Amino acid sequence: MDFLADWLYLIIGILVVGVLAVAGLVVSRRRGAAPTAPAPREVPTGEVPTQIPDQDVTDLDAGAAPAVEAEPAPAAPVLDKPEGTQSRLVRLRQRLAGSQGALGKGLLALLSRDKLDEETWEDLEDTLLTADIGVAPTQELTERLRTRLRVEGSTAADARAVLREELINLVDPTMDRRLAVSGEDGNPGVVLVVGVNGAGKTTSVGKIARILVAEEKQVVLGAADTFRAAAVDQLQTWGERVGVPVIRGAEGSDPASVAFEAVKQGVVENRDVVLVDTAGRLQNKAGLMDELGKVKRVIEKQAPVTEVLLVLDATTGQNGLMQARVFSEAVNVTGIVLTKLDGSAKGGIVVAVQRELGVPVKLVGLGEGPDDLAPFDAEAFVDALLG
């Protein structure tokens, strides 16, 4: 019996050892095996997956890049909305009344004296001359005032009415002050802007563009003042603010070629107006005349020049008149842009320059703002003078 018991214990031990060995082998295999990857998520149609599962990488075509989300398109630049003509005229009256009122008040004070003697008329002439009206217009106005007040009376109300009427006549309301920006035979209107550097010429070109854009005209700017890089960059900025293209060339390039390309683009794109900013150098009259003449001749191979605007600084007085003479000899000036009128009590330059050139003041600059350029109105100007 003891023999059988020993064999039974031996067999049980062998079975236990075998079971333990098999169990250990299974555990070791499980520890060395790689973990099973989760099944890929189904991506709904139209959705770009943010991450591609590892097991799908081998399924991609060689060299193919994973899909990425497209960047949003840049927002279109916000363009300025220039002021219309009516709001500009309102500010014309306000600005001129503030800066030019001293002239009108001085004249009214003299004409309202109890006795209009020779000393009074001499003082009135001095006041007009100081305001840059000019000698001939001053003498003409004085004589007309003397005659009318002697006949019609010299009360304060009479004096004001007579002075207003005579000043309006002196400024000449019959002149056509509209900008000639309408071309013929399907061509755009072409406006040359001339003047010395420092008078506000390039700035005036930008402001005129704003006036035309406010009138819903399609405009092209030509940066033909090629010898001043700052002028070209300045004009580029003005154009960008209202969505107007600017044709420019390399610094120092031929101004006539830039003007030609600007008009060419205006013709091809069926634009309404081409504004050309020209060089304002005054080293010598002959050089200026040659350059401006060449620019105009080259432009007119494509379209006639419909307007030549001369930009003058209202504060320069008689020096401004000398500049006006030079430019009028170089090119046929058809209108005047008078800048910085708001900062001067010498509003008489309007009369003097019109008499000198025989052409009207069409636009006046009222300040530094982008829309501080307004169509000139004779009655509004005189009413502002008189307050």
200 annotated as belonging to a binding site for a ligand: yes
**What is the pLDDT at residue 57?**
35
Q: Which residues pair with 127 in a beta bridge?
A: none
196 annotated as belonging to a binding site for a ligand: yes
Q: Output the pTM of the full model.
A: 0.77
Mean pLDDT of the residues in the chain? 80
Assign 101 a pLDDT band (cuts: 50, 70, 90): low
**What is the pLDDT at residue 60?**
35
189 annotated as belonging to a binding site for a ligand: no
DSSP-based three-state secondary structure for 365:
strand
Assign 245 a pLDDT band (cuts: 50, 70, 90): very high
Assign 99 a pLDDT band (cuts: 50, 70, 90): low
Token duo for residue 92: 């014309």
**What is the pLDDT at residue 371?**
85
Average pLDDT over residues 15-38: 54
342 annotated as belonging to a binding site for a ligand: yes
**Least confident stretch, 110-114, 120-124, 284-288:** 284-288
225 annotated as belonging to a binding site for a ligand: no
**315-337 residues labelled b (16+ CB within 10 A) or e (exposed):** bbbeebbebbebbbebbebbbbb
The yes or no reply on domain 189-333 and CATH 3.40.50.300 is: yes
199 annotated as belonging to a binding site for a ligand: yes
List the strands of the sheet with 373-375, edge to edge.
246-247, 219-223, 273-277, 189-194, 307-313, 335-339, 361-365, 373-375
Dist. CA 384–CA 18, nearest whole Å: 119
101 annotated as belonging to a binding site for a ligand: no
Residue 180: pLDDT above 70?
yes
340 annotated as belonging to a binding site for a ligand: yes
Higher pLDDT, 350 or 25: 350
185 annotated as belonging to a binding site for a ligand: no
Higher pLDDT, 17 or 372: 372
278 annotated as belonging to a binding site for a ligand: yes
335 and 360 Cβ atoms separated by less than 8 Å: yes
6 annotated as belonging to a binding site for a ligand: no
Share of the chain above pLDDT 90, in %: 39
**What is the pLDDT at residue 287?**
78
**What is the pLDDT at residue 173?**
92
Q: Which residues pair with 276 in a beta bridge?
A: 192, 222
Show me where the domains of the chain are located. Answer: 85-171, 189-333
201 annotated as belonging to a binding site for a ligand: yes
Sign of the alpha-carbon dihedral angle for 276, 282, 288, 291: negative
**What is the pLDDT at residue 278?**
92
Higher pLDDT, 31 or 190: 190
- Which contiguous run of DSSP H or E holds residue 364? strand 361-365
Cβ atoms within 10 A of the Cβ of 43, count?
Answer: 11
Dist. CA 4–CA 336, nearest whole Å: 137
pLDDT digits 0-9 by tens, 167-179: 999 999 999 999 9
pLDDT digits 0-9 by tens, 29-81: 555 544 444 444 444 433 333 333 444 433 434 444 444 455 555 555 677 77
45 annotated as belonging to a binding site for a ligand: no
Write out the CATH class of domain 85-171. mainly alpha
147 annotated as belonging to a binding site for a ligand: no
Higher pLDDT, 336 or 112: 336
DSSP 302-316: TS---EEEEEEEGGG
Residue 157: pLDDT above 50?
yes
Higher pLDDT, 50 or 235: 235
172 annotated as belonging to a binding site for a ligand: no
